Amino acid sequence: MLLSILLQVATDIAILGKALAVALTVFAAGFGIGKIGASAMEGIARQPEAGGDIRISMIIVAALIEGVALFAIVVAGFIL
């Protein structure tokens, strides 16, 4: 009886840890992409002629952040 309760508590804690890891990953990725967007808009406002280059760089960096976030979510899912 006690063993089954302890196993259930351990399972619940693992699920909570997985949810926390995924939430933190999504929050950090969203913050990073928001920061990139804000900085890109500032750069384009200061130098409109460099808008195309800045936009391309912004998209590449945002894609890299998305890739790292997806990898972190997958790792959190497999580990926990």
State pLDDT tens for residues 28-76: 999 999 999 999 999 999 999 999 999 999 999 999 999 999 998 888 8
pTM, rounded to two decimals: 0.77
Structure-token match 């979510």, residue found: 73
Q: Where are the domains of the chain?
A: 2-79
What would the CATH number be for the domain defined by 2-79?
A: 1.20.20.10
Task: Name the H helices within 1-80.
Answer: 2-46, 51-79
- Residue 37 CA, chain-centre distance (Å), reads 15
What is the pLDDT confidence band of residue 9, given thresholds at 50, 70 and 90?
confident
User: Is the separation of the CB atoms in 9 and 60 below 8 Å?
Assistant: no
Query: CA 56, CA 38: separation in Å to the nearest integer?
Result: 14
Structure-token match 């497999």, residue found: 78
Task: Average the pLDDT over 14-22 and give the result.
Answer: 87
What is the pLDDT confidence band of residue 80, given thresholds at 50, 70 and 90?
low
